[in-house]
Amino acid sequence: MIVAVNKMDLVGWKEDRFRVLEKEIREYLGGLKIIPREVIPISAREGATVMRRDEKHLSWWKGPTLLEALLAGAGKVESKGEGPLRFSIQDVYRFDSRRVIVGKLESGRIRVGDPVVFFPDRKTSKIKSIESWGEETALREVGPGQSVAVTLEEQIFVERGHVGALPNNSPVESREVRARIFWLDIEPLRLQAPVTLRLGTQTVEARVVAIDRVVDAEKLEAASDTREEVGRFEVAEVRIRCRRPLVYDSHEKVSATGRFALQRGPRIGGGGIITFAEYPASLAKAVTGEHLTWTEGRVSQEARAGHFGHEGAVIWLTGLSGSGKSTLAVALESLLFRRGIGTMILDGDNLRHGLCADLGFSLIDRAENIRRAGEVAKLMAESGLVVIGSLISPLRKERESVRASCHNAGLNFSEVYISATIAECEKRDPRGLYQKARKGEIQGFTGIDSPYEAPEKPDLILETGKEEVEKSATRLLSHVLNLVRLKEEDREGAAGPGGQI
């Protein structure tokens, strides 16, 4: 970021006035975790320090002009050292029998013989050669910031928008990102309004699904009210959901794959940086293992969604025992099924009769119980089902782990907090579990002698102690339908070339 402090002519070109403003600006932006590269005094009316220096009025300013500061950052590769390999594919050309893959090394180095994984399909091959136009001597290695052409030892399918990485340091692949955006268009950016997200050579339709915080960039004030749109010149912290998986990094890790533009129609409406990324474990360990391979099916998630008429998803109901999770899960399953949506309940008690029968109720065993349930839910959602998880899942970190796993697989995930006080739960307790726990007959009972951490930012809260079951079920149904139902343009996209078998 470069900040220009305008109208210096109106304060008599005083350095002390500028320094006070500069200090305020740097402190404020520091609170937003933004470090400006330059804060420059200018007068647009007089042209002072815009393109040229003004020795008459601003002789005390020894820094760059605004133009010099802009040019100093043009084309600059900003990375900590060289960073991990990120090879953004621009196109694939055929020369005789060779397939030449061209793109830009956003960060890292690439060498002949390196194994490279291409996201999002996760196809792997080795670099056979590095092509250089007009050079007689073949290159063996190239570094960050260079546009290169390579050939692969195995002819795998890659195309524009794919990103190459080394197996032990992969980017994030997800349909949802957390970002800080700056909106420029006159028309506000509204929740659920379609925009085109451009990151490197990737282009994907996206929608803002949550606005967590908004800052007015002109007044430098943060809005505390609930917002449904981002206005012109506002900075906002948001969650963006993409129609198909996006390959990215946090901006702090790799700036080139952590920043993007938002386009509405033919116009660029704004841009942003990705502020959070849940990185997967090394592919070498997490996917292939020593003697394991990951078998990819030929039916994509988009094809399944187009076939069934809805996307797969994991709806995670969490709350105390007796809060109403199972009641609402059963009601939701029936309501979805009647609307032609494939669904399945994963109930915590049911899982303990089989898959998790070997687990106890210590915090370690309960964490493993949630991990297994989350993996099963993810696999079922990948098959196209709307999975309703009904589990106490008392700790936030376990629930967030399931969310991250689903997002990394490009799946919808929604955490629904079934909120009820312990007193209300005890009144409904048909099995008398709370009474037994208070007598010491049950050890490690959530809410009595074992903790429950309520969600900090759930996607939906249902206060079952304050509203009827029918109203809660209706609200839950509406929430899920908005999450998984395909609009007509989504149906067409799912049935397009990417969905063919």
Do the beta carbons of residue 215 and residue 173 sit within 8 Å?
no
Whether 3 contacts 25, CB under 8 Å: yes
Instruction: Name the 3-class secondary structure at 456.
Output: coil
Give the 3-state secondary structure of residue 406: helix
User: Please, which residues have CB within 8 angstroms of residue 121's CB and are 6 or more apart in sequence?
Assistant: 157, 158, 162, 296
Read off φ and ψ for residue 89, nearest 5 degrees: -80, 125
Q: Are the C-beta atoms of residues 484 and 494 closer than 8 Å to each other? A: no
For residue 461, give Cα distances in angstroms to 316, 476, 478.
Answer: 12, 9, 13
Q: Are 181 and 274 in contact (CB under 8 A)?
A: no
User: Can you say how many angstroms the Cα of residue 445 is from the centroid of all Cα atoms in its chain?
Assistant: 35
Tokens 């032990």 correspond to what residue? 168
Which position among 170, 174, 321, 393 bears the catalytic label? 393
Q: How far apart are CA 487 and CA 340, in angstroms?
A: 15
Note the helical H segments in 253-311.
283, 301-308
**Backbone torsions φ then ψ of 481, nearest 5 degrees:** -60, -40
What is the maximum span of the chain, computed from C-alpha positions, in angstroms?
A: 86
How many CA atoms are closer than 13 Å to the CA of 94, on its beta-carbon side? Answer: 3
Q: Give yes or no: 393 in active site.
A: yes
Q: Is 132 helix (H, G, I), strand (E, B) or coil?
A: coil
Helix or strand holding residue 341 (H, E): none
- CB of 280 within 8 A of CB of 172? yes
Q: Which residues are catalytic?
A: 393
